[in-house]
């Protein structure tokens, strides 16, 4: 079996560490791992696969000196903008977790359960969608057969989505310290403010959910609106998703359709207290769906509750699945 050299860019960060964990768990066919981060961490060692790996400073010279087949990026948009093309020019396929390349027409935006075929038209960079979009489209994909007309997203997003700094703000906030990453305290609070505000009053996170859902589902006419909220949860995003359909449906049949969907685990037995929560989803790869019920205010529609670990399926697992798909589809 062919083995690959894999670079992790941002290896010391929240998602970078999870990349390493998921690659090890999945026994990824790697012959070598190259761990890149900023000058702050260069020279430090990270234990991985039973041996210490020295962190390499991310510079053009070091990328050229250390050629690789696949580069998994999670080091912020600016780093992806500046360095992903250099990896691609040096023969790697980049799988980028930032928002930098997601809406670029030359860059596929991929959730392997939804649009794996888009991987085939890559030009050196493949984008990993926003964490809240990934879990939403996994749950929406099986419902396409009812003709999706309109989607209303309301999210309850964990602090780990804001990286190590977000995590520290909740940990320290619970001890009474002031936030450093978030604009207001997150402990005991909810912030309807993820990423920056745009001119139309929406946040960039909300706009990302709208645009990325359309691109991944290949349906640019979909009507979508979103409100995204940071909540004092360490791991796992929860989403209330309201979907309106063109066609009528039978609720039991719709639930069976969801249950058969790729990457979905149904947890929908409210009479027995069964529904997904972020604590339950922590460190799991699937998207958990529950509270599926008819929206009685429209002719044909539902509400559902969708939960996933934002650092796993929402980031690292999805990226590693794309890397696995590159191999399975014979692209590398
Ligand atoms: P470093 O640890 O050297 O700062 P998180 O989002 O969890 O805070 O992680 C961000 C990751 O991105 C870290 O691994 C961080 O490395 C890395 N990173 C941030 N800025 C740069 C940069 N300019 N060049 C390379 N890596 C960077």
Check pocket membership of 124 for ligand 1, CB cut-off 6 A.
no
Model pLDDT, residue 204: 98
At residue 235, the pLDDT reads 98
**What pLDDT is attached to residue 187?**
98
pLDDT at 66: 98
Instruction: List domains and CATH numbers for the chain.
Output: 4-128+315-328 (3.40.50.720), 133-310 (3.30.360.10)
Å from CA of 43 to ligand 1 middle: 14
Q: Are 289 and 266 in contact (CB under 8 A)?
A: yes
pLDDT of residue 62: 98
| Ligand 1 contact, 98 CB (< 6 A) | no
For residue 11, give the ligand 1 atom closest to its CA.
Answer: 14
Question: In testing the pocket of ligand 1, which one of 18, 20, 37 has its CB within 8 Å of the most ligand atoms?
Answer: 37
Q: Are 264 and 139 in contact (CB under 8 A)?
A: yes
**Tell me, what's the pLDDT at 205?**
98
DSSP one-letter string for 241-304: EEEEESS---HHHHHHHHHTSTTEEE--BGGGTB---HHHHTT--SEEEEEEEE-TTSSSEEEE
CA distance 268 to 291: 6
Residue (of 228, 231, 226, 227) closest to 184 by Cα position: 231
- Dihedral, 205, 165, 189, 135 alpha carbons, nearest 10: 40
Position 243 scores a pLDDT of 99
Ligand 1, residue 58: give the atom nearest the CA: 25
User: Are 94 and 102 contacting, i.e. CB atoms less than 8 angstroms apart?
Assistant: no
Question: Which ligand 1 atom sits closest to the C-alpha of 162?
Answer: 6
Dihedral sign for Cα 35, 281, 138, 262, please.
Answer: positive
What residues in the chain have per-residue pLDDT under 70?
A: none
How would you class 311 by CB atoms within 10 Å of its CB: exposed for 0-12, middle for 13-18, buried for 19 or more?
Answer: buried
Distance CA 189, CA 76 (A): 26
In the DSSP assignment, the letter for residue 197 is B
Q: What is the pLDDT of residue 165?
A: 97
> Is ligand 1 within 6 A of the CB of residue 75?
yes
Q: Is 131 a catalytic residue?
A: yes
Q: Could you give the angle at which helices 163-173 and 14-25 cross, rounded to 10 degrees?
A: 110
Atom 25 of ligand 1: nearest residue by CA position: 38
Take atom 22 of ligand 1 and give the residue whose Cα is closest.
Answer: 38
Verify whether ligand 1 is closer than 6 Å to residue 189 (CB atom).
Answer: no
- With a CB cutoff of 8 Å and minimum separation 6, the contacts of 117 are none
The C-alpha angle with vertex 230 and arms to 98 and 175, in degrees rounded to 5, equals: 110
- Beta bridge partner(s), residue 308: 237
Strands 237-245, 301-308: pairing kind:
antiparallel
Per-residue tokens: 10: 């941002």
Structure tokens at 6: 């894999």
Contacts 24+ apart (CB under 8 A), 265-268: 265/289, 266/290, 266/292, 268/292
């Amino acid at each position: 079996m062919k083995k690959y050299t894999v670079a992790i860019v941002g290896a010391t960060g929240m998602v970078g560490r999870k990349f390493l964990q998921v690659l090890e768990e999945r026994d990824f066919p790697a012959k070598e791992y190259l761990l890149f981060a900023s000058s702050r961490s260069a020279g430090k060692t990270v234990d991985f696969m039973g041996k210490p790996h020295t962190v390499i400073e991310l510079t053009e010279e070091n990328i050229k000196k250390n050629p690789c087949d696949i580069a998994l990026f999670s080091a912020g948009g600016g780093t992806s903008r500046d360095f992903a093309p250099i990896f691609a020019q040096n023969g790697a396929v980049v799988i980028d977790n930032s928002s930098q390349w997601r809406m670029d027409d030359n860059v596929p935006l991929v959730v392997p359960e939804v649009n794996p075929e888009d991987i085939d038209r890559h030009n050196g960079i493949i984008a990993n969608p926003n964490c809240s979009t990934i879990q939403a489209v996994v749950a929406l994909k099986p419902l396409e057969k009812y003709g999706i007309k309109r989607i209303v997203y309301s999210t309850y997003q964990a602090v780990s989505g804001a990286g190590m700094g977000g995590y520290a703000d909740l940990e320290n906030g619970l001890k009474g310290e002031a936030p450093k990453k978030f604009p207001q305290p997150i402990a005991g609070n909810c912030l309807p403010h993820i990423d920056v505000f745009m001119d139309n009053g929406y946040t960039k996170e909300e706009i990302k959910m709208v645009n990325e859902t359309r691109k991944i589902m290949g349906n640019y006419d979909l009507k979508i609106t979103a409100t995204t909220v940071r909540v004092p949860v360490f791991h796992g995003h929860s989403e209330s998703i309201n979907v309106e359909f063109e066609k009528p449906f039978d609720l039991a049949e719709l639930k069976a359709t969801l249950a058969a969907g790729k990457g979905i685990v149904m947890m929908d037995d409210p009479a027995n207290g069964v529904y997904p929560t972020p604590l339950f989803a922590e460190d799991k790869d699937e998207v958990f769906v529950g509270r599926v019920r008819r929206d009685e205010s429209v002719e044909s529609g539902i509400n559902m509750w969708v939960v996933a670990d934002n650092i796993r399926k929402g980031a690292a697992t999805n990226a590693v699945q794309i890397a696995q798909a590159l191999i399975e589809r014979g692209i590398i």
